[in-house]
Chains A and B, each alone.
Chain A
Amino acid sequence: MPPRPIDGTLLKQGAEAHVYRSTFLLPNVPCLIKVRPTKPYRHATLDMRLTKHRCVSEARLLNRCRSMGVLCPAVYFVDEKRGEIIMEWIEGPSVRDFLHDCIDGASDPGKEEDNVDVRLDALMENIGQTIGKLHDIDIIHGDLTTSNLMLKHRENSGTTSEPQQGSQALLTADTSLLDFDVVLIDFGLGQVSNSDEDKAVDLYVLERAFLSTHPRATRLFDIILDSYKRNCLGSAVVLRRLQEVRLRGRKKSMVG
Chain B
Amino acid sequence: MPTTLSLPHLPSNYRLHIALFTSVTNAAHLHSQLLAKNPEYEYAFIDPSILVSHLQPISACFRAIRDLLDPDVGLRTPNVHSETVFSLSPTHNITDSYRRFGISPSSAAVLAIKILDTSLASYSESNTLERLTSIVEGTEVDFDTKDIRKLTDLIKVKKYYKLKDMGYVDQLYKKKGRNIEEKSEEEAWRDLEVAVLGAMALRSLV
Q: CB within 8 Å of B: which residues of A?
A: 1, 6-7, 22-27, 29, 56, 59-60, 62-64, 66-70, 74-81, 86, 88, 133, 136-137, 156-159, 233
For residue A146, give the distance in angstroms from its CB to the closest CB of chain B: 23
> Which residues from chain A contact B173 at a C-beta distance below 8 Å?
136, 233
The answer to whether B168 and A137 touch across the interface, beta carbons within 8 angstroms, is yes
Please measure, in the bound complex, the distance between the C-alpha atom of A56 and the C-alpha atom of B205, giving whole angstroms. Answer: 7
Q: CB within 8 Å of A: which residues of B?
A: 5, 7-9, 53, 55, 58-59, 62-63, 66, 72-73, 145, 163, 165-170, 172-173, 176, 184, 186-187, 189-191, 193-195, 197-199, 201-202, 204-205
In the A-B complex, the 6 residue pairs with the smallest Cβ-Cβ separation, listed nearest first, are: A74-B194, A69-B169, A68-B168, A63-B198, A156-B186, A75-B198
> Which residues from chain A contact B184 at a C-beta distance below 8 Å?
156
> Which residues from chain B contact A77 at a C-beta distance below 8 Å?
59, 62-63, 201
> Which residues from chain A contact B186 at a C-beta distance below 8 Å?
156-158
From known contacts A67-B163, A233-B176, infer whether A7 and B8 are also in contact, taking CB-CB under 8 Å.
Answer: yes
- What are 16 residue pairs bridging A and B, where the CB atoms are less than 8 Å apart in the complex? A25-B7, A56-B205, A59-B201, A66-B194, A66-B195, A67-B163, A68-B165, A74-B198, A75-B197, A75-B201, A77-B63, A79-B66, A81-B72, A158-B53, A159-B55, A159-B193
From known contacts A68-B168, A156-B186, A158-B190, infer whether A26 and B198 are also in contact, taking CB-CB under 8 Å.
Answer: no
Please measure, in the bound complex, the distance between the C-alpha atom of A157 and the C-alpha atom of B166, giving whole angstroms. Answer: 20
Please measure, in the bound complex, the distance between the C-alpha atom of A188 and the C-alpha atom of B146, giving whole angstroms. Answer: 36
The binding surface of chain B is classed by DSSP as helix
Please measure, in the bound complex, the distance between the C-alpha atom of A115 and the C-alpha atom of B198, giving whole angstroms. Answer: 39
From known contacts A26-B58, A159-B193, infer whether A1 and B169 are also in contact, taking CB-CB under 8 Å.
Answer: no
For residue B104, give the distance in angstroms from its CB to the closest CB of chain A: 27
For residue B198, give the distance in angstroms from its CB to the closest CB of chain A: 4
The answer to whether A22 and B8 touch across the interface, beta carbons within 8 angstroms, is yes
Contact of A25 among B59, B166, B190 (CB under 8 A): B59
From known contacts A1-B72, A25-B62, A75-B198, infer whether A67 and B166 are also in contact, taking CB-CB under 8 Å.
Answer: yes
Please measure, in the bound complex, the distance between the C-alpha atom of A69 and the C-alpha atom of B188, giving whole angstroms. Answer: 11
For residue A6, give the distance in angstroms from its CB to the closest CB of chain B: 8
> Which residues from chain B contact A26 at a C-beta distance below 8 Å?
5, 55, 58
Please measure, in the bound complex, the distance between the C-alpha atom of A26 and the C-alpha atom of B4, giving whole angstroms. Answer: 12
The answer to whether B205 and A59 touch across the interface, beta carbons within 8 angstroms, is yes
Contact of B8 among A23, A78, A156 (CB under 8 A): A23
Please measure, in the bound complex, the distance between the C-alpha atom of A6 and the C-alpha atom of B184, giving whole angstroms. Answer: 36
Please measure, in the bound complex, the distance between the C-alpha atom of A35 and the C-alpha atom of B93, giving whole angstroms. Answer: 29
> Which residues from chain A contact B172 at a C-beta distance below 8 Å?
136, 233
Most buried by A among B168, B189, B201: B201
